[in-house]
Structure 1
Amino acid sequence: MVKKTTYKYCFTVLLIGNNQICWDFLKLFEDLTPDLRIKVAGVIIIQEKQGTGQKYPTIRDVPVYSFQNVPLDLEADLIIDMAGKKEIDGLIKKLKIPVINYEGACFFYEIINELRNKINFQRMLNYSQKLSLLAAIGHSLSDALRNPLMAIGGFTKSILEEGSLPAKTVEKAKVILGEISKMESVLKEVSVLGKPPVLKKEMAHIHQIIEQVSEEFSLECQKHNINIVKDLEPQDIEMWVDVELFKRALYCVFKVSINSMPDGGRLSIKTRLSWDSLFIYISDTGEGLEPWQVENIQRPFSFWEEDRETCLIMVRKIIEDHAGKFIIHSEPNKGIQLQIELPIVFPEVPPV
């Protein structure tokens, strides 16, 4: 069992700049929050008009304000000015918050970007080492248990086919077959987790895949009185993905959500485009997870105690194999909220 580590923020910052620069800074802070312990109090956009209170598609609820509608009671320890324009000098004076000017902000950005690269490299190194160990364990387990399971299952089926067994014995034999099937499924998942990614990518319509998976689970959702709510981007989204693996990830998410809502509830799916990424938000109103389970699922080298964790670890690995990000939030009795970020990439076209 892994206990969640809590930490306090060192200071809060207020970002000023255009959409792209602020978004880059937010992504940096998200990646390095446990190390830098910086909290973004708000973002002020100076080029594009944004309504007060609009949100960036990010893990944290960061308020976004237009330059014309900035409340003067904003509180922060530091302003990072990434615009370098004279028209914001008056606003900075009114806010009465210490500021890092444009040159300092550029230097600060380069420093934390290098820090992120260093930390990510160390994480990838640790991940690859642990993944190779997991692969060895998975293959050893599969090889050691495959033949005994096949023998037990085969003999049990042959006994059932005789047809002269008491009713209680038949029930027990069916239970044995069911448990063997579960063990085979777990071994398969362990084996897949340990394998290096071999993706068979193709151009696919993401919304079409979501609709297909939703349709396949529609009868089961109706049976459990679960309402599927979809809020998809109006424009068609094509991405270069491994269709089968992406479907498998969605299957796992649907399975977890449905099993966590035995008395009914709501399963919501939302997609949003942001620059060069697609965000998929999936949430339910089910039983939720304990804090230690959430942290366990997000760790690169995870062990699990139940099917829900196994499924969500599979989802995380599939998304990461697509160079994406997988973020999960959950509390007991408050459901599960997933944020999936997939980079929109296209195949390289060879020169003619």
Structure 2
Amino acid sequence: MRSLSLTIDLDEIITKLVNRLSKIMAISKVSIYLKTEESEKVKVYETSEQKENNEIIFYEPDKNDPFFVSLIEQEKINTEEFMINYYLKISEELEKRKISLSLPLIVQNRLIGILNLGNKKFEDEFSQEDIFLLETISTQASIAIDNAISYKKLEKAYKELKNTQEELIKAEKLSTIGRMASSIIHDVKTPITSIIGFAQLIGFKTENKLLQEYTKQIIRSAEQMHGMIQEILDFAKGKEKELNKKKHNLEEIIDEAVLELKNYLEHNNIKLKLVRDFNNSLYLDKQKVVRVLYNVIKNAIESMPDGGRITIKTYPDNNNAVISITDTGKGIHPEIKNKIFEPFFSNGKNNGTGLGLSIVKKIVEAHKGKISVESNPGKGTTFFISFPIIKDIT
């Protein structure tokens, strides 16, 4: 049984122990009761002569099971005293279940499990040599099982520590970004206000329709810049800003986001196709949904440095309005697809905070909506954004 000490995988140890007892010792039935990591829980591994190839089944025992009670009640034990009381308690159960030998698994005066053995297949009862050998095996098995359980606990603790460390790093990053955003807002508020004021003044003073449209675009962009910085600040501080939801036509919101990126699309040689199969109004925070579409479309543009095509579709799906945004870019590898909505995940981008899609997801979910992504590396990516269709609010 030396091989038991060569592994730290609990299931492998149990399988080896059960198989060897069944085959080498020719034991008809083997069951092992083990404490789990959870408080007051026990797991039973069992095989019997009715199962082919010593197939092992496992289950949770009844709470009135004497072996379960013995495991749960006993922590630190006095070995000799425990053994006497133990056999007095379970004597009837041994006969009832046709258990020939029950061996407590003890490590440093701690009861970690119970090994129950059925009859020998070819002999009436266990000899003294058999019992001595089985006690030796149970001692070795106890140590191997305890080591495996301890390793599993250590592995779990390490993962928890690693996750905590990652969360602390994220929290520190968010705190740093929050301080930076706060400083930036303070510094840019005055010039943004000036830009908006002078743009409005130019719009009032001129009768040139094209110039008026340009000034409106300047005002929208300046307000968007301020809103984006404020949003990063709120995200970093963990604030849940209340949505300013009103009835808006979805296509008009998409048009506004596209207009914001018109020059960027043309500069990067991107062809845009709009397929409109939903032209109704939804209750949305217009500014935030424009931000969502702006970020997703901008990411699509950046995935196609040599030009390409973006298709934006809208359509109803049960009680939801869906926007799909498809590009012909390089796609997203499967191993990182589930990480793109995590804070600070930038997928190799040289600029940006890595918060864009995190903020997008947060905005969509604040609307009780959903966002998902499908991608084929080398062929392109599609983002699906859905918002619930709500009847008029009275």
Q: TM-score, normalised by structure 1?
A: 0.46
Q: TM-score, normalised by structure 2?
A: 0.41
**Structure having greater relative contact order (Cα 8 Å, sep ≥ 6):** 1
Bigger Cα Rg: 2
